[in-house]
Amino acid sequence: MDTPKVYKNFINGEWVESQSGRVYENRSPADTKDLVGIFPQSDARDTTLAVEAAAEAFRRWRLVPAPRRAEILFRAAQMLQERKDAFAVGMTREMGKILTETRGDVQEAIDMAYFMAGEGRRLYGQTVPAEMPNKFAMSVRMPLGVCGLITPWNFPMAIPSWKILPALICGNTVVIKPATDTPLSCANLVQTLADAGIPRGVVNLVVGSGAEVGEALLAHPYVRMISFTGSTAVGRRISEACAPSFKHSTLEMGGKNVILVMDDADLDLAVEGALWGAFGTTGQRCTASSRLVVDKRVYHEFLDRFEECVRRIRIGNGLDPTTQMGPLINQSQLRTVQEYVQIGTQEGARLVSGGNTLDDPDHACGFFHEPTVFAEVSPRMRIAQEEIFGPVVSVIPCDGLDSAVEIGNGISYGLSASIYTQDINRAFAAMREMYTGIFYVNAPTIGAEIHLPFGGTKETGNGHREAGTAALDTYSEWKAIYIDYSGKLQRAQIDL
């Protein structure tokens, strides 16, 4: 067997070993015999070195004109295009999702790099008329400083790009802690930025656990903001940790997303969308369509068609081009899915498809679970309320649009929702009534594009958005500027 590659942290422009010297193995969730690489188990000492490097680099980077910063991002986008297929293969090995999906993950990073490069020649403020004569008023953006970024494993290059690139174009420096399950893809992104010409210390990567690296980022006084994507429980802990020192925080957390299928829906299209929404990325998306609320008048017809298609999904290693659904990320996530299947059965939902792990010879070395469908689900059941983050979907009957909307909104999350209908009036009514950050018509709850804001309401987020120009507000602060050229004291609101 080939000697596994040993990866390091990226601190102050160099790949360096962790201070502890400890390492861990990153193995494929589809085949645990496949050793993707050896990665450092970093601790607070590594985090401190990275933060100090970022703080020193910030003094210079913030003064680089934004169009010059943008040129580096543009070169990085071009390099990512050239490396797309290789990076996708590496991502499939470490994360498990199929190659078509990992290519899309890399493409999101490419799109974000080009988009943020364009913002380097905008970063618009406002110029407004002053209320006093011979006075000029305007606003400009200021960078925050050192940004601590904590990213999940399900989109291991796309989500880091959503955080790193807008932070850089605004003039910040960053320290990123990728998920320990998927550090390779983030390392590939960071190496590409370095190859594109990012100065020393501007981008730093520290691989390690949340308990050691993440907590150290939260505690360090030089870190002025934390951007986190992950569970609501961890997001709450981060919000509390940031509050005493008034660190900015942007939190993108859980979801329990719904597709509303009306009685006039194109059922073939709705079934196709529900399959992709529920089982794309093995259901391991914050936007996954884990609830299907279907009008009783088409409920059984929809369920029969849906079940038939679910049974035909091909499960296996994502490197196989015939595979349609890959493994879960690790043993812990597989165990969580198994537990929720038991919960759904105990609650009285009817298991109509799936429900089992796969341990036959073709799947024995990975964390595979069948795509699973529960029918006759009550809206208050745990499987209809709690985020499972796996290939489990609840099909819930409803009595028309008002009933569907009430069920759809009746959860603690508010990320994404969709409706399948041919009635434009229904579509617009649902668009207005669903309290979510993202809404689709005649499409599943997944598939956001990088030039629009991404994020949710209620326990999904804390009011900020990622992607699009909304991300610029996350990584900058406004400064209002007044220039008085009257040659005398003018007291606003008083001398009018």
* Active-site residue list: 252, 286
Residue 127: CB atoms within 10 Å: 11
Which residues make beta-bridge pairs with 482? 137
Are the C-beta atoms of 288 and 281 separated by less than 8 Å? yes
CA 108, distance to chain mean position in Å, is 11
Distance CA(54)–CA(64), nearest Å, equals 15
Helix, strand, coil percent values for the chain (each to nearest 5): 40, 20, 40
Q: Which residues contact 363 (CB under 8 A, 6 or more apart)?
A: 315, 316
Q: Which residues are CB-neighbours of 496 under 8 A, at least 6 positions away?
A: 131, 132
SS3 60: helix
Contact 454, 465 (CB under 8 A): yes
For residues 362 and 455, give the distance between their C-alpha atoms in angstroms, rounded to a whole number: 38
Counting every residue written for the chain, the total comes to 496
User: What six digits make up the tokens of 386?
Assistant: 């709690």
- Paired tokens of 154: 């399900």
Those residues with Cβ within 8 angstroms of residue 131's Cβ, 6 or more apart along the chain or in another chain = 492, 493, 496
Q: How far apart are CA 438 and CA 446, in angstroms?
A: 9
Given a contact cutoff of 8 angstroms between Cβ atoms, the answer to whether 355 and 55 are in contact is no
How far apart are alpha carbons 221 and 218 in whole angstroms?
8
- Backbone φ and ψ for 441, nearest 5 degrees, come out as -120, 125
Separation in Å, CA 490 to CA 137, 364, 397 = 14, 78, 67
Angle (deg, nearest 10), helices 66-95 and 158-169: 170
Encoded amino acid at 473, one letter: D
439 bridge partner residues:
417
Residues whose CB is less than 8 angstroms from the CB of residue 82 and which lie 6 or more positions away in sequence, other chains included: none
Question: Who's near 246: CB < 8 A, 6+ residues apart?
Answer: none
Which residues have CB under 8 Å from 349's CB, separation 6+? Answer: 374, 375, 376, 377, 378, 381, 383, 394
